A and B are shown apart, each in its own frame.
Chain A
Amino acid sequence: MARRIHGCTVGSGWPAAGLIAMLLILLNGCGERAWNAPYPASEAKSNTLYSSFSERPKHLDPARSYAANEYAFIAQIYEPPLQYHFLKRPYQLVPLAAEKVPEPLFLDQAGNPLPDDAPVADVAFSDYEIHIKPGMRYQPHPALAKDDAGVYRYHQLTEEAVERFNTLADFPHTGTREATAEDFIYQIKRLANPRLHSPIASIMAEYIVGFSEFASELTAAGDNGGFIDLRQYRMAGVTQLDRYRFKVRLRGKYPQFVYWLAMTFFAPMPWEADLFYSQPGLDKRNISLNWYPIGTGPFMLAENNPNLRMVLARNPHFHGEAYPLQGEPEDGENGMLDDAGKALPLIDKAVYSLEQEVIPRWNKFLQGYYDTSGVSSDSFDQAVKFGSGGEANLTDEMLERNIKLATAVETSIFYLGFNMADPVIGGDSEENRYLRQAISIAVNFEEYISIFLNGRGVVAHGPLPLGIFGSREGPEGINPVVFDIEKGKPRRKSLQEARALMAKAGYPNGKSIRTGRPLVLNYESASAGPDSKAQLNWMRKQLKQLGIQLVIRATDYNRFQEKLRKGTGQLFMFGWNADYPDPENFLFLLYGPNGKVEHAGENAVNYDNPEFNALFDQMKNMENSPERQEIIDRMVDILRHDAPWIWGFYPKAFSLYHDWYGNVKPNLMANNTLKYKRIDPATRNARQQAWNPPVVWPLVLLVLVLMASTVPAMLVYRRHERSAAR
């Protein structure tokens, strides 16, 4: 007979089963939440977003953090002067902490203003004056807590006092204050502090006046590991104009600087936080700026346990921001403007659980315990199917659960690089160029995307991903060296054409006309595991079509990097993810003075074409315009002809989300999009309960079987005990 306990059917009247069921009910709070819910019953109807992270972040300090998994947290906490518009495309900068997007003022060597259209050669300096919004207050933080006398409570902690604190939440008092221009300047100085190893220090040193000198001054002053009051040191190019205004002076013209202003590197940092965290003993308890951010943004890190869970909660002092009123024409139809004008953030809390394995993460998403999920290779077929036209659709199983799919071509590229410093495959001789072009035709990246990426990629025809200024779509965007144009669409050239190029390169049928031996090339690979074996075999097969023998030299990532640095490799696969949506951020990967071997730059193939270099110098400081497009077209033509890369593919991001999760529009440049997200907790809770009803009868059956099996055992035992000794 079935029994009901607190409204739950627990099965038959068997007492043991009832006991187990009661224990489970006790643990789960029956009626409030499904039994397998990993969250407390009290949160069932809360306006909370649930998601996961697979890797512990390394740095949460805005001067050091430069990884996507770290930005997922700190971009919600720190507010740099600018941000990307959530809805508009192409990506557009709009103010965040700043009142407006700053316009540069160009100056000559003597400091006299120049017109906006002054020649680049005449521009000695660019001044960016940044007006920040008044009234932005920091989240509650012990570093800002003051006593009644106005003295900071926790700025002179003794080692004994520190023993009492295990997390920031253990400090009983917190305080706040307004963010000022001085805090933005303080953060720029932190970028220059050699102790922090900011990843953008080298590039900022090229442009911000006085940046290098500031770093040298700090080095000369010595570093005992304690608090360095950066306010006492002056950076020549950064000036405070008043409480809410400051100016940054750059060398020359650098229009891309505004993109950096949209990264958390330039968010304000109160000096009090730096002092607070530098107190002895706190670092031993992992209480540091690297782990406990202090920001003015919509969220603050309420729980910081990177080994288990990271919880972002509303910052009670957030200055306020509204959901965008405008977007793309289709945004209105898609419901992306339903919350237009509403106060942000739209959720109260976001809980990110550490989930290292793919299987539990995927199952929790299907059970409704994660609001959104990526699509791993293992679960791809379960989630996505391709239509006859090649379009990605959800499977029936996903549609039944009202799961939705969002896709976007990423602003990144994966390419197969030829080391241009190599005598066989590189250089600018006509023969070697033919060889590279032939290989470019033979390596079929359409097939690669289909086999190894489940279709999650777009074949690249040049270095610029779609959506970046300068990239071309349609027939104009097709690489004529590798593809023919057929009815306006690309069709890869035939292997016969590739073999003809091989013959022109001096390798008919893959054999050298000089030695008669087959051409042997080395492929450097940083992936040596069983998973990559199929990919490596595929690569070998592609070159075998031309008679080239490909030797796979698999190694670990460090050795791989070393080969790139020394220029000892021949072919290798590499990639780049955009820092900002500007063609300069991709084309600089092929700029000669950025060569990896000679200049330790990001030009991993060591390509160096004087004409391309000159055009790059001309293009990099230009505003987006038809003239700039013309130059970029010419640069791309040169690259396609020289073929230093096989233009591999632009990855396509697939993400799934439940129908209770709103305002989903992929924005590959913005990291601070959590504030726009909407959750319908009632629907979510109802779905979770419907999808996860506890099934108790197998448990009851198991107990019964175990109990029943003891009966014959008892009988045998009794018979054994009663039997006479033999």
Chain B
Amino acid sequence: MNNLERQHLIKRESLNEAEYFLSILQEASRLKLLTDSKLESIQLQSIELLAGQTELYTGGESSSVKTETAQSIMQSIFYNIGVYLKSFPDPDMSLEAIKQKPLLELHRHGRKLVEKQIKSAVELLGAIRNDSIVTDNCAYNDTIENGISVFFSAYNADFAAHDTPASIDYPLSNDKMDLAGIEYIYNYLQKLFLENRFCKNFTGHDIHCLLRGYDDRYQDLLINIFGIVLTNVVGSVLAGKSAVQLNIEPIDREYLQQKLANLSKEKLDTRLQEASTQVCKELGISDEPLHEHVAATVMSLSAGFKRALENDRLESMFISFKENLSQPLILFEDGVQMNDELFRNITDEIRECRYVSDKIVIIQREIHSITDLIDLLEGYSIFDDEYAEIFQSLGDMELALLMKKSPAYMTDPDFLFEEDEKEWQSMLSCFFNDLDSTRRESIRELAGKIGIVTS
């Protein structure tokens, strides 16, 4: 017997997630499912609701409010109603509720659901905090520790339920950015929880080595850890290894290149689907949401995978582990810093020098500590082009030490500058960019080997 599927008058996918109530009204009006008199009645009820909520907002002390305030309160009312309407299995039933029930009641139900979601989200955040991935990635840690909790103290479900006052830097895989308010936060936390659960199949050390393989400075990057882990797991499975083996060796990439390079896009997609199913099976993932999230993420790899195969550059997708450097090879102990008065005299002397060559002579004669050198560079004694000449006079070791004392992005021109970057750091960055690549690399390598001993 054929399965009969109910046809819906309003399609869920044609509705706006953030303005659900209004988009149902628009669709219903377009499809002539609402009479003019019903629409008028909804408008009047909206005004009554807005008036009531505004009175609550002002505490009855002001009969008027700024237009923006009224607009926000109205959006908040519609948002709460939208949350309730989404609780119905399909939009047609939501429309029926709009027709049958007064707006005030829809709003009350929605407000209760919002409250329930806030509670669930707080609990979920607690669970995530107790069982997060151990990683040095700042965006991940900051978002979980601080960014989301800001939301719960700032969120106003009565008068600004549609706002999302949170500071979320950590990106998810397939994040539903069309949601707003508590719905967005709850959805974000649910996905983060799932992603964490997936990553928990691997040790913190393995994830660290994988992320180091992705980039040495992965700590500062806005990357989705789950996406990187899952990509390698899929690579492992495709290469005929077990899903728990996170590392992809060069030989695995060669094998994948040979085996998959000539497949059509459709066949490659089929392989990815099969791999996704196998990953879930091997890792014992049985719950539907995680299954779906894994499948969606794996399928989003398709285009990049095809491109990497065509260019024979699978290393851009499937990453080999990079272990920690065991110990720094060069231990550096800073020289003795001069006392404040002497330092002041020298900086004054340098500031008064007319030629930069004289400044360089004084620096070479008097400065014997990297800390003093940095203090000097920050001491308004060196100006504009003089920086480059002073850097030019320094040896590779001094430059490597300066690099070590600078933020990690120093020599990477693609990296975004931070707001608090100091002048000498920006000048050093320019100086490095102008250096020939061999010397730049050797200084960078040297910086990586130096361990600064604090006395």
Q: Do chains A and B stick together as partners?
A: no
Chain A positions near chain B (C-beta within 8 angstroms) = none
